[in-house]
Structure 1
């Protein structure tokens, strides 16, 4: 039998708290799940440092990837199969792309990418097309199949309908992570009527569209996404932990480049510090390794690295205050000078951080990272952009919200109360509204 169509003798089922069951019948999918590159995702948290705020957020990219696969499987098998607009020959490709879309995420994902100027999508593509176990499985379908999967993930595959199922403003990726992250963080914001959305999804020539009767379910989905970003993903305490994580890696990189003699040599990081990363270096790194180094580095002779690692491991995070860069940029310069005067390095202990999100956007042709809008399919067959019919969506369309914070170690400042500059620093940081408390 052609490997592309080969089925398991008996269906495999994963018990899942979000989708109840995840069903695997295709031999290719089962074999991909068993590869070392996919199993590595068990050791990469879905929400990075968020577990230091919402203690239940220990779930992994492995779980999320299975969830995205299951949503796409249901869309195709239960909704699209047999419809004129859908090509059933694209089924396995779409399922593999859904399953493997996050394969290239590094430890603590976006924070790690910032420090080393990495792109997880490019690493996903490199893993798919390189000398890996997952590539060997995909090549059994056809010699060009790994590249096709990589093209879907890179959004360059010719069939845009396939791409839209994995990456669009209403895709399986978002539908899974909103519900999964809400479940594991214990919040109610991310819940929406996915069953209704799946029932009203329709294949069109270049993207998924939504039957007009399902508009209110889509409104709920968009508002759920909006709330999750501001209540969970951009939580200021999680950002405090991420700031410290980034500064740890910056400090370790600086020490390595300056010839510092580590008590515990960062052998797993050297290629990252030297920008000579091999694919195997990337695949071999996961969050358990980072945390092990952080434990070791708590005993390093460098006081900055030791302190930052101890803060991260034992959740002694930075405090934060509101910050408006447009009007307060001079304050940061003055604070940096004052920090140096009291013996605290502002490079590592005074950090401004911004978070920004655009919950929904209409079509802006020619703009960088332009977004394809969500279309409603009217009774006449006409396609109408969502915000033209929904007052709720119209109210937030194209409106980017940005939040700015300044982070600092209040405990270090308190230890230097005898210094004449401390009162001035605290007054500038706390202002009239005071410093926000670091609570869950």
Structure 2
């Protein structure tokens, strides 16, 4: 390895509201942070449209990535102090793995794009694939820095992220049911949204982690700290990540991008107002360089231009998004979904194009999933290590975790314009308005407020 993998003569620190200090000991980490690809993450919100509900949620993928790096660094320190490998194959921590773990932690989200999940859905991009491309492509600053460590080092880092790296301890640090990624985003999102129920005892969880041959386990005397983490994650999904108003803003954003793509594909589209940086995505023929030019601010700028676009649907959706006018919603289930076609028809009667002003959105999460080898994507279960070294799966020991294990939580919602519930607009489409309200009542689905 070259000098870039050497320790700094004096550690560099970043002040952080969650971890206090984020400590950097290696030149390679500083150099990765300074690349254009990593700095781009400053311009992408961690929680997308959630700041429209929790106004403090303005934090970025940049701050989260540094946090995941810091938690991983603390895990490596704890493992090296308490569980250093004595002989090859003993299942303990080999500190030669530290640098690849730290780099993978720092770069795990490098492929996220502008308004990442919504954009990904509309334009069929894959942030995990793009993450690996950024790491392995000779055209990126990230790859240039990693290659200075060793020629095969970028491939090693990418293999941690795609779970093919041979050391399961390193992979599980970055991606498992209790990993550095999840632990940082829960604490960081709780801090920035002001939702205290997302907090858990990180210090204790890290203290009871230990390496073993097949990955990472947790000491039995720390099981309650792990339980607390599982419950915190469950609460954050229900109260923050699945918030119906935030999802209502996501739906507006989704429909806005869909309309822009549709208009571009028309032969008479206004070339002068074409969003040049989005054209490669409209045409489904984009390069890595095209992708890296986009961030939340670029899209917001186009939305401002679209306020004056000569298409009533596009300019209205742009205004709804920029002015924070989310669609309203009702929950539905298998018994009540038969009402949805009528609600769409009534929305059309009121003058709204239902293709752009109605949507079905479902958000479900599995708070904890005991390992099922027959599952399509089996999860790495949380192992509790007893004093005799025996391993037991968490939900078999915890009644609390067992109660939510394997049970999806969330809901399905039908989204529509707020005007459909607005008494002030009753003169415009009074009969339709009353019918809409009646169908909501008769279908036993209630709007969120």
Q: Output the TM-score relative to the length of structure 1.
A: 0.96
Contact 1:321 1:430 in 2 (8 A): no
SS in 2 for 1:140: helix
Cα drift, residue 418 of structure 1: 4.1
- Asked if 1:360 corresponds to 2:381, the answer is no
How far does residue 5 in structure 1 lie from its aligned partner after superposition? 3.8
Deviations 1:116-154 (A, max 9, x none): 112111000010011100100000011111111111011
| Deviation of the 1:350 alpha carbon | 1.2
Shift of 1:4: 5.5
3-state SS, counterpart of residue 220 of structure 1: helix
Structure 2 residue aligned with 1:428:
439
TM-score by length of 2: 0.94
* Structure 2 CA distance for aligned equivalents of residues 428 and 197 of structure 1: 49
Task: Compute the displacement of 1:316 (Å).
Answer: 1.3
**Within the alignment, does 1:270 sit opposite 2:279 as a pair?**
yes
Q: Could you say which residue in structure 2 is the equivalent of 1:32?
A: 32
In 1, the alpha carbon distance for the partners of 2:5 and 2:127 equals 30
2:360–2:413: 8 Å Cα contact kept in structure 1? yes
What's the counterpart of residue 131 of structure 2? 124
- 1:330-375 per-residue CA deviation (whole Å, 9 max, x = no partner) reads 2111222232233211111111111100000111003111101000
Counterparts of 1:28 and 1:56, CA distance in 2: 32
Pairing of 1:183-198 with structure 2 (within 5 A): 183-198=191-206
Aligned to 1:77: 77
**Residue equivalent to 1:23:** 23
- Is the Cα–Cα contact under 8 Å of residues 80 and 203 in structure 1 kept in the other structure? no
Q: Which runs of 5+ in 2 are unaligned?
A: 86-91
Partner of 2:88: none
- In the alignment of these two chains, the number of paired residues is 436
**C-alpha distance in structure 2 between counterparts of 1:366 and 1:138, whole Å:** 37
Q: Is the 8 A contact 2:44 2:114 kept in 1?
A: yes
Contact 2:42-2:63 at 8 Å conserved across structures: yes
* Deviation per residue, 1:103-128 (Å, 9 max, x gap): 00011111111111121110000100
Is residue 382 of structure 1 aligned with residue 390 of structure 2?
yes
Residue in structure 2 matching 1:111, options 118, 123, 127: 118
1:18-417 equivalent positions in 2, closer than 5 A: 18-81=18-81, 83-84=84-85, 85-130=92-137, 131-259=139-267, 260-261=269-270, 263-324=272-333, 326-411=334-419, 414=422, 415=425, 417=427
Q: Structure 2 vs 1, CA of residues 136 and 433 (structure 1 numbering), >3 Å: closer, same or farther?
A: closer
CA distance in 1, matches of 2:272, 2:5: 54
**2:76 & 2:303 partners in 1: Cα distance?**
44
Q: Distance in 2 between matches of 1:410 and 1:429?
A: 14
Partner deviation per Cα, 1:379-423 (whole Å, 9 max, x = no partner): 000011111111111111111123011111122664364433332
Partner Cα distance (1:113, 1:254) in 2: 17
Contact 1:322 1:404 in 2 (8 A): yes
Question: Whole-Å Cα distance in 2 between the matches of residues 5 and 329 of structure 1?
Answer: 58
What is the rounded CA distance, in whole Å, between the counterparts of 1:193 and 1:228 in structure 2?
A: 15
CA RMSD of aligned residues (A): 1.5
Q: Distance in 2 between matches of 1:55 and 1:402?
A: 23
Whether the 8 Å contact between 1:4 and 1:92 is mirrored in structure 2 is: no
Q: Which deviates the most, 419-428 or 108-117?
A: 419-428
- Write the distance in 1 (CA, Å) between the matches of 2:171 and 2:128: 14
CA–CA distance in structure 2, aligned partners of residues 417 and 49 of structure 1: 33
Residue 323 of structure 1 deviates from its aligned partner by: 1.7
Q: Which residue of 1 aligns with 2:89?
A: none
Q: Given the alignment of the two structures, is residue 12 of structure 1 paired with residue 8 of structure 2, yes or no?
A: no
> How many angstroms does 1:10 deviate by?
2.2
- Which digits, 9 at most, give the CA deviation of each residue in 1:273-325, with x for residues without a partner? 1110100000110000000011110111110110011001011111112222x
Alpha-carbon spacing, 1:309–1:110, altered in 2? closer, same or farther (3 Å): same
Note the residue ranges of structure 1 that are not aligned, 5 or more in a row.
none
